[in-house]
A and B are shown apart, each in its own frame.
Chain A
Amino acid sequence: MSDDNNTKKVHGTVAEYTSVDTLLDACRRIRDAGYTKTDAFTPFPVHGIDAALGIKPTKLPWIALAGGLTGLTIALMMQIWMNGINYPYIISGKPYISLPAFMPVAFELTILLASFGTFFGMWALNGLPKFSNPIFTDPRFDRATDDRFFLYIDAKDQSYDQAGAEKLLADTGTEYINTVVEDDSPTQIPKFLITTLITVIALSFIPALILARMRVTTSSKPRFHIFPDMDFSPARDAQQTTTLFADNRAMRPDVPGTIARGDMEDDLDFLTGIKMESLALQQINKERQLVALYPQGEDEEKPSEAAAEQGDGPEKSVMDTTPWVETNPVELTSQFVRQGQAQFNIYCSTCHGRDGRGNGLVHQRAQQIMASSWIPPASMHQDTLYSDQYPDGKLFNTISNGIRKMPGYAGQIKVRDRWAIVAYVRALQQSQNASLDFVPDSQQETIKTRKAEVEKMLKEQAEAEKKKEQERATKA
């Protein structure tokens, strides 16, 4: 302790120990003497030092808990808002608000915010970041990371007086006591650090500025592509041409002799929805072409392009000479129709709507954004689509190969399931045109009385309207 020290501001007193046991004894002594603003510095964690110094249990767990709960709440609210309210969208046939699916995100965000709470809470509680501490001025303090233990009493402690603290510490088996004074090393931050920092901050504004500028200006130059090969994939799309093959087709037909799994079991009529024998009588070439395609797998080649393109028109096309399969080749059972319903709801209802009126989610969305190239999906409930004008086989073909905007579903839906959808569509159509005979006898009476009631009510309303009209007329 030089005289020089006496003129500087005193921050506290530090003592050095050579073993854990003497340190802990000293800790207990100063704790019992009533000091609270104290700290111990050790090269390794020492069990029980909190109790010896009288440090209260930390508040950190509560911060972590609060962080975790915040994360949980945010995650659940965010997902419920996004998927259930703002943009309700069915994924995998689950409900909009399907908690099990939200759990992983909720779990991760809980953990994330709990760790943030712990990490930054610890910083806050410890007053970090702290770039310097007066105790570093002590010439022997470096050994705190090596083989010495230090005990420090802060001058801000209420019961601190320098002489008393030194006397108390001298009694605890220490050989070195020092007064911790203000650090008088220069506090100036080196110029080059400041320059670098300012430069980095200035540079970091550039991308943001570019973005901001781009938001408000237009440009006639083509877009800048950072990853051109990702924006313009060299892979060919369906229906495109290529120079790679002699026939210039990018889509390759199956290798001759390829047999799709399960397709050997079914006949061609079942696979195409066309009566092949009748077709052979009409168009032998077309038939040959089709037979060559099956059962090598259902190619996207449309068996009857003319029919598929025009078949859905307002009047029954005279061009359609294809001998479609008239009735569903699968035996109709309630289980089969229900299977069709499930498939319809999965694949078709997004556009055609669950009731088949052509008002599915995709269509609604297309209307919302006013998609110019969108062709509205057909309603199932129109005369031209009833089985007398639109045979089951043709409907099957449309599902398989698509029509207008609708893509073919041969790749997604199994053959049998496509027939099941056909059966269900027929059931849907009937459900909108059912006569009273379809209703079980036991319920016919109730429906009749209900009908009579409604008719009566309508009649009364109409009469009341008429009366009002007349009154108004007379008044006028």
Chain B
Amino acid sequence: MSKHAPAIKPADDPAFQLPAKLSALSVPLCAGGLLVLIGGWALGTFGVSNEFGMSAYLTAFIYCLTIALGATFFVLIQHLCRAGWSVVVRRVAELIMIMLVPLAFLFIPILATLWIGEGTIYKWDDPGFAEHHHLSPETWDNKLMYLNPEFFTVRSAVYLLIWVGLAVYFFRSSVRQDETGEIKATERMQKWSAPALMLLSLSMSFAMFDWVMTLAPMWFSTMFGVYMFAGGILAAHCAIAAGTFVLQKTGALRDEVTVEHYHDLGKYIFGFVFFWAYIGFSQYLLIWYANIPEETVWLFDRQIGVWAWVSLALVFFHWILPFISTMSRHVRRRPPLVFGWAVYILILHYVDIYWCVMPELFTGADGAMQAVGGAIGIFASILMAVGMATLMLGMMLRVAGQTRVAASRDPRFRESLAFENI
């Protein structure tokens, strides 16, 4: 209102096209990412162990998945709130969201190990587990009613179907609107965003229970799904900010995304840094205070050996440092700084996932190094994460090359252009 909304550029304006520089990178990134991923997996599997390779693969997978799910949540919540400010950056989020489709296929290796029976990291699949851990047969039989390869596969398929369905529906509707400009599409998406959100939240929470929490079959934390979600939505905001920044640097969206949008994304990043810490601490405090052996074991494993340092690193570098650093409005209103902190948190998000998944490879004080896999193990884990993220990036650029990088015919696009923080 203060500033008259600038005119929307025509749909074929270079501002809305993926810059040639980036679209040329698509195939090399895909191929390179796939190679690095396979290389990392081979290094982890043959250099350390079958289980190690699979565990590091799961870490990389959950890393990419939580970001994609976080982006889906972002898209849905914008529709639910009929948000105006975010329309110019929503397509970036949608591009991250549609990566749920290739990620669904990348889950197959994890299922495969369960069915082949070789190298699976889910200990509940081990018939000797109950005896080895002195569990009463009754407890264990009850657990196995839920934790068995058949039911696990069915549940995983349901989660993946829900996500792929949601991602495809919301992505297609948004892209179709680029051509038709119909307001009906926005109204439909708004209508479906509420049930979609409920489906997403529940399925995500249960997926994290199934895929990550059951790595320690006897451990449980009802908060675990929320914890993973908190990290995911934080990383998603960072990915959106970073992606938008790169697009702007290479020539797209130059006038469309302003410092105001970075400011809002920065606020989200700031807020969710604390939300993540809040949820993480809530989970920790309850377990720590109650001091019940079957609950503390999970945290105890993360307080011994090298894992104690990783835990402390998360406290200082995933929470305190970014929290203090992004507190100032001046930081959030400088796009290069927002970009820098976004990339920083994206790296720390990997550490967070790594901290959740990898320690389950060992039990007891003496095996800490086994879970890290030594220098080879660390290198292999990083290779896999970088490989999978690069593969996703390449695919994202491929999709972006065929569509536009902003939902320029969304009815609220003009409102978003003129958006200003007070």
Contacts and interface: CB of A to CB of B under 8 A. Distances in A.
A21 B289 contact: no
Interface string A5-39: 00000000000000011001000000000000000
Given A61-B329, A92-B291, A93-B291, A47 B2 contact: yes
B2 A24 contact: yes
Given A48-B420, A50-B422, A93-B291, A103 B281 contact: yes
Nearest to B422: A47
Interface residues of A, number: 21
B300 interface: no
A49 B1 CA distance: 10
Nearest to B284: A100
A91 to B, nearest CB: 9
Nearest to A48: B2
A52 B420 CA distance: 13
Contact of A104 (B2, B285, B288, B291): B285
Nearest to B288: A100
B133 interface: no
A124 B327 CA distance: 23
Given A61-B329, A103-B281, A46 B1 contact: yes
Contacts of B289: 92, 94, 100-101
A65 B324 CA distance: 11
A93 B288 CA distance: 11
A51 B2 CA distance: 9
Interface residues of B, number: 13
A127 interface: no
A228 interface: no
A45 interface: yes
B2 A103 contact: no
Interface in B1-54: 1-3
A387 B285 CA distance: 43
Contacts of B288: 100
A20 B422 contact: no
Contact of A48 (B1, B281, B285, B327): B1
Nearest to B291: A92
Contacts of A20: 1
Contacts of B422: 45, 47-48, 50
A288 B346 CA distance: 73
Contacts of B2: 24, 46-49, 51-52
Interface in B311-352: 327, 329
Nearest to A47: B420
A100 B285 contact: yes
A57 to B, nearest CB: 8
A64 B3 CA distance: 30
A314 B296 CA distance: 46
Nearest to A21: B1
Interface in A157-211: none
A57 B421 CA distance: 12
A94 B296 CA distance: 14
Interface of B: 1-3, 281, 284-285, 288-289, 291, 327, 329, 420, 422
Which 5 A-B residue pairs are closest in the complex by CB-CB distance? A48-B2, A47-B420, A100-B288, A48-B420, A100-B285
17 contacts: A24-B2, A47-B1, A47-B2, A48-B2, A48-B3, A48-B422, A49-B2, A65-B327, A92-B291, A100-B281, A100-B284, A100-B288, A100-B289, A101-B285, A101-B289, A103-B281, A104-B285
